Structures are given as structure tokens and as C-alpha cells.
Structure 1
Amino acid sequence: MPLIYALSHVPPEVSAYGMAKYSRSSASMKDSLLELSQQKAEAFLNTFYFAYGHASIADLAHVPLAIEQISLLAAMEIVDEPLWDGQERSTRYQDFSESPYYRPDNASDGYPTGIQSLFTVYRDLFSEAEALLRERWPKPEDMKTGAYGRTIRARAFDLARYALPLATLTSLGQVTNARVLEQQIRRLMASPLAEVREIAMGMKAAVTSIEPFNLLEARLRHLDIPIDDRALMEMNPGPIAPTLTKYTEPDQYTLERRALVQSIVASFFSGVSAARPTVTLHHAVDSQDDLLAGLVYQESLLSYADILERLARLSRAEKNDMLGHVLRVRGRHDAWPREMQQRPLVFDVTVDVGAFRDLNRHRRLDKIVQGLDPQLGYDVPPEIAELPWAKHYDAALARHYESLKDYPADERPYLLPLAALRRVLLRMDFAEAAYLIELRSRSSGHFSYRRIANQMFGELERAFPEMAKAVRVTPMAAFDPFER
């Protein structure tokens, strides 16, 4: 009969060691863990993880982290990890009107003015929207007053968040295995944003050199239960993952590859494609062209179609040369770039940043994200356009965008609102496309990503009509304002 039990209060590296021992010992997990210590785990991991290259052992050490008081802009980079699991403060349910914001070192004198101008639009838009929605959707008789108020506020935040600046501070919690955490820290250390590089160093320190927050100890002290010194030492073995993530350094391959691709973009792929919220499906694209287009996409402001059109003008030898330059700088232990992963369906999506943050949490797809640039403009969705206050919103954002040219380039991303448009290339198989469409088209979702999901379905239906019949899409017209 199977013997199955859960584990608790086991440090991640000791847990990884205990599970790895299954391949080297017949002892039970309980017996293995009882004889282990953090010091034994560290010695084992130094041998098998680093010396022998058994990287899969790090997959067994799951590390929870709280990352707080960071900008929305930085949070998007942190979350953009294929095997990431976590949660972030929601702009759909929480009021950010009095939120503090990130201010870069040596920020220009006008930086606070630019941020506050967006917060003013955010507050005004929320007030206008909440009043209008209460008038449009009176409380159903069978709905409790508190639930009704929360639902209307959430729908109003769906509109107001378009004006929220990306400098707004947020918090998130994540759980990753140690191998993913190591890759994540290395990637973040290579970020062009100083804030993100600082966060990466903080994440490394939090798991390698700083004692973790011990919930068991905190609860015992809160209950005034005495803890003797020996018990305290057992409960606090030291940093949570001092071995598996200690060699994290900036990802040099990412830095070198970025510089190479930027030079290619400057020579062959300059300019800006027209931007508006849209979805375009591409399939049956030449494999080499798709690899190159993936590399070029995130360093340019061109649509995927425009990149493919320019690639068609180049000879096979020229394209081989481009790929060769990028791949020759790949080190012995560097993985293939995410941009060069391929799936049969490629959706080129232009979407507001607020909706992008929701789509960014999908893991079973490959994402290639373009940088944030004011040249792509901002969205005025139909749901805002129909408000009496719409002209004020549009005029306020137009003035704000015009003022961005007066700020240094490294400050502009923080001064963009969630209404800012950005492009993302989503590569996925049919099953993930169906899952995304079914989930994100639901009536309870935000109207922006609902619209994207419906556009994706329309593209899929045109390309694969028989297969699309199996996708359970919720049309935009099927909407219940009280469904959350």
C-alpha cells in the first residue's frame, strides 16, 4: 500500500538533498531528512550540483520570495519568467490613488509633476466611472450591498487603471525552484533598468546571506510561547538557499546578444510600424525567418509582418551571417535564447500595458516583448470613449505624451501609463491558444484582454475553421457586469 505524506518546515536545500538521495539510498524520506542538516546539504550540493553538473537537483528546492515596494515597470520584468508562479497586487481590485511611486536616482525636477498628472487623471477617471456605472447598472435585488459596491468599484478600476503610471509601487510574491531563480536573477542583473538590477541583487542576498522570515518562530513569539536556544538554532538554520544560487552573475550572453541585435536593427529594421490594439495570426512561416524575426522583434518597433517583409528582401547568406553572429557569442553553459524558440502559431499582439500584464502570466507559450516607447501611443478603448469624461482623458494623456520628450530616456518608461500600447509576440500551440481564448474571453475578465482573446479567436477561425469550432469562446456581447 502506498505511503504518502507531506513535508513542512524543511529548508529548500535540505528538501532538495533529501529528494536527491532517493537515487542514491534506499532510506525513506523521513529517515533521510532526520539525519540531514543545512551543512550536509551544502556539502552535497557543492559536489553534485556544481562539480558534477547535476542541475536537476536545483529543481527540487522551491524558494518562496516576497518582493515589495517595486514599480509596476520592474514587476513586469520579474514576472516574465517561463516557469514563474506568483501573485501581484491587482490594479483591478485595489485603489492605487494614494500609492507611492518609484523615483530613479537623480530624477529630473519635473519627474514628480509628470507622475502626479497621471494620478490626477486616474482619480478623476475612477470617480467619473464609478458614478456612471452605478447609474447604468443599479444593484440587483438579490445582491448584497457590500458585494455590489465592490463589484462596481472593480469595474471602475478597470477603466481608471489606464491612467496609472508605471512608476506606481506594487508588491508580489513568487515561488520558483532554485534553478529558475538562478536564471531569473542572472536575467534581471542584465536589465537596462537600474531598479531591476538592484532588485536582482536584493533577491540574491535574500536567499544566500540573509535569514528568512520564520513564520513558526513569529507565531510562537506572538503567542508568548517560550523557545529555548537549542530549538531556536534548529528553527533558524540560516539563509534559505545559500548554495544553489550563490554563483549568480549578470547574464553576459544576454548583454552581448542585445548589443549585436541592436546593431542589426539599426542597419536593417529601423522605423516604427503603425500601432493600434490588434491581433494578427501568422503560421507556416519560414523557420529561419521566424528565428531572426524573434531576435529582431524585441529590439525594434516594427510589427512582425513588417520584419518578415524586410527579411524577404535579404539573401539566405545575409540571414545566415546575422544568425551566425548571434550564436557565436553563446557560451558553453548559455541556453538558447527564448526569442529563438518556435511554436506553430504566432500571434502579433498590440495591446495596452494593463492587459499585457494579465497576458504576461501565461506560461505555456513563448513571449517576445518589445520595449516600451511613447511612439506607439496609448489606447482609448470604447468603454472609455463612451464616457462623458472621455475627451478630458484623451486630452490629458495627449498633453502628457507631448511632455515626455522633455524627460531623459531612462525616465520615460516610468512615466508611461497602463494605457500605453506595446507589442508582444505570442508563440503557442493550438491547445494553449484555445486555453488562453477560453479563459481570457470570459465575462468576468477585463474588457481589454477579452477583446484581444476574441480577436485571437477570429484569426484562428479564419485560418483553421474546423478546429476553431471546438474552442469555447465567450463573445464580447455576452457580458454580465456583476460577474467577477
Structure 2
Amino acid sequence: MWNYLPEAFTDVELEVLSRYFTNSDKPVFALVNLPEVVKGALFARYSRSSKSLRRLFLDEFYEGGVVSNGIGGQGSAGVKRAEALYERMLADYGDDSVAQLGGVHLACEQASNILTKVLERGRLMAYLEQSTRYVPYDKVLPDGNFRYFVPREIAEAGLEKKYRRHMDSLFAGYKEIFDAVETRLLEITPRESLDSDFVFRSSIRAVALDTARGILPASAVSNVGIFASAQAYEALILRMRASNIAEAREYAELIKTELDKVIPAFLTRVDRPDRGGVWVDYLALRSRALSGLSFSVSKTPDTDSHDFDDVNVKLVRFDPDGEKRIAAAVIFGQSQLSMPAAMDVADSLTDSDLATLIRQYFGERQNRRHKPGRAFEQTNYLFEVECDYGAFRDLQRHRMLTIEWQVLDTSLGYMLPELVSDFGLKERYLEIMDGARVFHSELRDTLEPEICAYAVPMAYKIRFTMDLNAREALHLIELRSSPQGHSSYRKVAQRMFSCIRDVAGHRNVAASMKFVDFDDYRIGRLSSLRQVESKNKGIFT
């Protein structure tokens, strides 16, 4: 092992360091018990100082006593010095990189499924969202209402009572379908000898919740956990302040208020008229300009028809020479050739040699977490997808791609779960969906499309595009086709794979995707869910 030279500290300094660093004698250590602003400021000074981080802390941020780590303790000397540093670097010098040095875990609760897509739009954030598979929506809250959000725009239009009646009917329909499917599954599904009551019932419930979730409207509220840097939160707040939706604008202020309690120095630009103010104005003006555009269409969608078609996936754009671009990147990285020369070598490869090179590059993958290198990022695929909003919610959280979506409405029809038909519930399901379509049409006479979307059940389809490279495609397709996935996005992933292999003709890229699952599980999905629930039992019970 490399012979690291430990720094010299006095006994008093060592005692201080033991409170804030995981060690004082090794070259790798973590910072603990320090406010985000101090940790970030230390790293900011790090880049412009010859001192070690621990020495910087002792010399410039610690002045005896304790560096406060509480919300109410932002006035200690170390914190004040850190805040002053941020004021200079962020506000005065515009050094955005220092805003990446502080992070916060933020809980965002009772957000509609319209708002969650706004919260989860940023790439450089980590999200966990409440699952409709594990959390039933069949119970009313203490105030007597189901778990849905009432937009300010609907209340101000005098439509709140009618909106609530329709939401209540959707949630009642959700409970009816969920109860019926769960009861029937319990009757017909054999219980394996090793199944505990918890595992068996949890697995059945997950399938029943998956089946019923399409009835839930986009107004259904959810909880989202976010971890992100101050820079990402700054962008989120500004984007939300410029939103056309009142829920997003009002929620932005809730987020700002709470972040000011823990990382106020990182967000000083947000409220400055010459910084955050002009940024919000720019975003809002751009949005208004785009909303005024109109485009002629050759055919108006027939919203009265029952469209139970499966998901629709089209490969809109790809590079016919994409695999040769991957090969050129491999050759470039393994040689001293220029990129043009590497491309010439790749162009000269026979089909057999090309297949061998790409196969050697992705190697012997033992599971889906073994991924090829970044040469696979040299070719891209643009997909257009039509699927139910419920499946879109899961796919939208993938961040290493470019995703654009249209406003949710009822024009593309909706998905009919197979178990609904199998268990004789089709007519009731159609009645619920048709009622939602009629109510949505009534709202469109008064409100903007973004607000009408709150009333649309998640079974209705939404159109969106995903532009992603082959490396991300491998990750998404293998993950979303796995047995425990929802049937809708499993179909999306399976068809994306078929497009890459058969439409683009990228059979070598397709060959790297060894863990795409094409089986149709339906009730058979219970076997994979049993494994998941068995693992979860010790954690969540």
C-alpha cells in the first residue's frame, strides 16, 4: 500500500478533529456533524488552498467551542464565515460549482401526480416516490376525503363541488375493482408450501393494486423523497415558480422555506430580482410564447372510441452506422489512433469482426448490473411511446436520457388490464373510464389543458419521446422488462428492444442485452413478487 504521510496535529486539535472527521491520520475521510454550508465552504476553499481539508477547518472555520449543526445554530463563527464565502463565490462571482457542494434530503408530501412529474424532471437529483403497488388508495383521510388534490384553478372556476364528486366516484371505483381482483386472486391462486401468510397476501395485493391503479386520477397525491445539491434545488424552485400550474408555484415556496432553514447561503440568488427574478421571467415568457402556437392536424382523434390497444412504441430516429461508431470508440480507447483513423478502421471491419469486437467489449455479463463501457454512448435512439400514464410515471424517472411529454388527456384511449377482463369486470371498468372522459371534456370548455389533466385516470395513455444512447437503453430495457415490473412498462421495454434489434438492425447492441425478459407472467408474476416480499418482510414489518 502507498505510504501515506500523516499530518501532524496537536492533542487538542486531534480531539477537535475527532468530532468532525472520521479519522485524522488517513488520506481518505468523511465529514460528520457539520452543517451543509460549512462542508460546502470547506470544499470551495479546498480548490484554492495548499492546505489539507482538516488544516483548513482548524485554521479558518473552527474558533473554539462547537460548530453548530442545528437549524437554529446558523450563527456560529464557522457558519458565518462559510456564508460569507458563499456570498462572494455564488452571488458576486457566479461560481456555480460551489452550489454543488451542499445537499439536502427533502420530503415532499401530498403532491399530486401532476406535481410529482415537475419535481422529478431534473436530471441531477435522486428520487424515491410512494408506490401504488404497496400503498392502497382505498381509505379516506381524517378530513373525510380520499387522497386527491383540488387545484386552485378548479376551485376558482366554481367547479370544486363537481370535481370532488367525480374524484370520489373514481376512488370508489378504484376500491371496487381492487377489492374484487384481490378477492378473486386469493380464491384461485395456489399457496406455496413455503409461503408465509404475509408473503402470500402481500404478493396477491401487489397484483391487485397494479390492476386497479389505472383508475386513480392524476390528482391522486403521493409522497416523494428527494436528495439533491443546492444547485439542483435552485433550478427546481425557479422552474416551479415559472409554472403555469398554481400547485407547482405554491409548492415552490414551501420548498424554498424549508431549504432556507438548512442551506440558506446556497439559495441567496433565488430571490434576487436580477438573478432568480429574471430567470423566472425568462421561463414564464418562453412558456407563454409556446402556448400561443397552433398546428394543423389532418385528423382529430376520435375520443368516443374504445381503444384497448397495447402500448405503442416507434423507433423514430437512429444511426444506421451506430454500431460502427461504437467500434470506433472502442478502437480509439485501446490505441493511439486519432478518432478519424479509428473510424476508418471500424468502417473496414467485416460483419463478423464487428460482432466479435463489440462482444469482447461488453464481455461476459453475469447480471444486468454488469454494464458495457461508455463506447455504447456513441449511438442514440429516439423512441416515441404511447402508454398509460401509470407506466409513464415510472419511465419518466430515468434521468440519463432526454424525455419530452405531451399534456395528459383522453384522446389516445386507455389501457384495459387483462385481469379486469378475465374476472368479468370489463363493463364496470369501461363505465368508470367513459365517465372520466366525459368529465374531462366538460373541464376543457373552461380550463387550460394542464389543469384538466388532474381529472384524467392513469389508465389513459400519454404520448412521449425518449432519446437515449445504447448504454442507457440497455439499462432501461433490462430493468423495466424484469418479471416484477408492471405489465405496461414491461411491454414498452420489450418493444424498444425489438426496435433496436429489428428496425435499427443493431443486432450486436441487442446481443449485449442478455437480461431482457420476454415472458408473459400475468398471475405468474407472483413468483417474482414472492421473492421481493420475502426480502421486504424483515424490513417493513
Normalising by the smaller structure, the TM-score range is 0.7 to 0.9
Gap change, CA 1:31 and 1:245, over 3 Å in 2 = farther
* Counterpart in the other structure of 1:281: 315
- Residue 230 of structure 2 contacts residue 267 of structure 2 at CA under 8 Å; is this kept in 1? no
- Residue 386 of structure 2 contacts residue 464 of structure 2 at CA under 8 Å; is this kept in 1? yes
* Counterpart in the other structure of 1:476: 519
Q: Tell me how far apart the structure 2 counterparts of residues 21 and 398 of structure 1 sit (CA, whole Å).
A: 61
* Counterpart in the other structure of 2:148: 101
Alignment of 1:52-451 (within 5 A): 52-98=93-139, 99-105=146-152, 106=155, 108=159, 109-208=161-260, 211-212=261-262, 239=264, 241-243=266-268, 245-247=270-272, 248-249=276-277, 251-264=280-293, 266-268=294-296, 277-284=311-318, 344-407=380-443, 408-410=446-448, 411-451=451-491
Gap change, CA 1:153 and 1:40, over 3 Å in 2 = same
- For structure 1, the 5+ residue unaligned runs are 213-237, 287-341
Number of residue equivalences: 401
Gap change, CA 1:251 and 1:244, over 3 Å in 2 = closer
Amino acid at match of 2:136: D
Q: Tell me how far apart the structure 2 counterparts of residues 174 and 283 of structure 1 sit (CA, whole Å).
A: 33
1:345 is paired with a residue whose SS is: strand
- Residue 86 of structure 2 contacts residue 266 of structure 2 at CA under 8 Å; is this kept in 1? no
Is residue 46 from structure 1 mapped to residue 87 from structure 2 by the alignment?
yes
* Counterpart in the other structure of 1:4: 28
Q: Tell me how far apart the structure 2 counterparts of residues 253 and 133 of structure 1 sit (CA, whole Å).
A: 53
Q: Tell me how far apart the structure 2 counterparts of residues 116 and 190 of structure 1 sit (CA, whole Å).
A: 31
- Residue 415 of structure 2 contacts residue 460 of structure 2 at CA under 8 Å; is this kept in 1? yes
Offset, 1:136: 3.4
Alignment of 1:25-40 (within 5 A): 25-34=49-58, 35-36=60-61, 37-40=78-81
Amino acid at match of 2:176: D
User: Comparing 385-394 with 2-11, which one deviates more in the overlay?
Assistant: 2-11
Gap change, CA 1:147 and 1:388, over 3 Å in 2 = same
Amino acid at match of 1:256: L
Q: Tell me how far apart the structure 2 counterparts of residues 272 and 346 of structure 1 sit (CA, whole Å).
A: 25
Amino acid at match of 1:81: G
Amino acid at match of 2:56: S
TM-score, with normalisation over the residues of structure 1? 0.77
Offset, 1:270: 8.4
Gap change, CA 1:370 and 1:272, over 3 Å in 2 = farther
- Residue 364 of structure 1 contacts residue 428 of structure 1 at CA under 8 Å; is this kept in 2? yes
User: Comparing 412-421 with 33-42, which one deviates more in the overlay?
Assistant: 33-42
Q: Tell me how far apart the structure 2 counterparts of residues 119 and 186 of structure 1 sit (CA, whole Å).
A: 34
* Counterpart in the other structure of 2:329: none
* Counterpart in the other structure of 1:307: none
Offset, 1:25: 1.7
- Residue 412 of structure 2 contacts residue 461 of structure 2 at CA under 8 Å; is this kept in 1? yes
User: Comparing 193-202 with 94-103, which one deviates more in the overlay?
Assistant: 94-103
Is residue 459 from structure 1 mapped to residue 511 from structure 2 by the alignment?
no
Amino acid at match of 1:409: L
Q: Tell me how far apart the structure 2 counterparts of residues 393 and 181 of structure 1 sit (CA, whole Å).
A: 40
2:399 is paired with a residue whose SS is: coil
- Residue-by-residue CA offset, 1:300-347 (whole Å, 9 max, x unaligned): xxxxxxxxxxxxxxxxxxxxxxxxxxxxxxxxxxxxxxxxxx972101
- Residue-by-residue CA offset, 1:262-313 (whole Å, 9 max, x unaligned): 344x145686568852110122489xxxxxxxxxxxxxxxxxxxxxxxxxxx
- Residue 349 of structure 1 contacts residue 423 of structure 1 at CA under 8 Å; is this kept in 2? yes
Gap change, CA 1:268 and 1:56, over 3 Å in 2 = farther
- Residue-by-residue CA offset, 1:222-250 (whole Å, 9 max, x unaligned): xxxxxxxxxxxxxxxx8574536554446
1:349 is paired with a residue whose SS is: strand
- Residue-by-residue CA offset, 1:51-89 (whole Å, 9 max, x unaligned): 222111111111221111221221121111111202111
* Counterpart in the other structure of 2:41: 17
- For structure 2, the 5+ residue unaligned runs are 5-25, 62-77, 140-145, 321-377, 530-541
Gap change, CA 1:137 and 1:33, over 3 Å in 2 = farther
Amino acid at match of 2:472: E
- Residue-by-residue CA offset, 1:101-137 (whole Å, 9 max, x unaligned): 2112325120111101110111011111112222332
- Residue 179 of structure 1 contacts residue 244 of structure 1 at CA under 8 Å; is this kept in 2? no
Offset, 1:436: 0.4
2:407 is paired with a residue whose SS is: coil
User: Comparing 141-150 with 91-100, which one deviates more in the overlay?
Assistant: 91-100
- Residue 127 of structure 2 contacts residue 227 of structure 2 at CA under 8 Å; is this kept in 1? yes
Offset, 1:256: 2.7
Gap change, CA 1:85 and 1:148, over 3 Å in 2 = same
Give aligned-pair identity as a percent. Answer: 30
Q: Tell me how far apart the structure 1 counterparts of residues 525 and 213 of structure 2 sit (CA, whole Å).
A: 20
Q: Tell me how far apart the structure 2 counterparts of residues 71 and 100 of structure 1 sit (CA, whole Å).
A: 9
Gap change, CA 1:26 and 1:345, over 3 Å in 2 = same
Offset, 1:198: 0.4
Gap change, CA 1:387 and 1:409, over 3 Å in 2 = farther
Q: Tell me how far apart the structure 2 counterparts of residues 111 and 384 of structure 1 sit (CA, whole Å).
A: 26
User: Comparing 370-379 with 406-415, which one deviates more in the overlay?
Assistant: 406-415
* Counterpart in the other structure of 1:324: none
Q: Tell me how far apart the structure 1 counterparts of residues 124 and 101 of structure 2 sit (CA, whole Å).
A: 14
1:392 is paired with a residue whose SS is: helix
- Residue 178 of structure 1 contacts residue 245 of structure 1 at CA under 8 Å; is this kept in 2? no
Q: Tell me how far apart the structure 1 counterparts of residues 519 and 116 of structure 2 sit (CA, whole Å).
A: 29
Amino acid at match of 2:268: T
Offset, 1:159: 0.7
Q: What is the aligned-residue RMSD (CA, Å)?
A: 2.4
Gap change, CA 1:191 and 1:270, over 3 Å in 2 = farther
Amino acid at match of 2:288: A
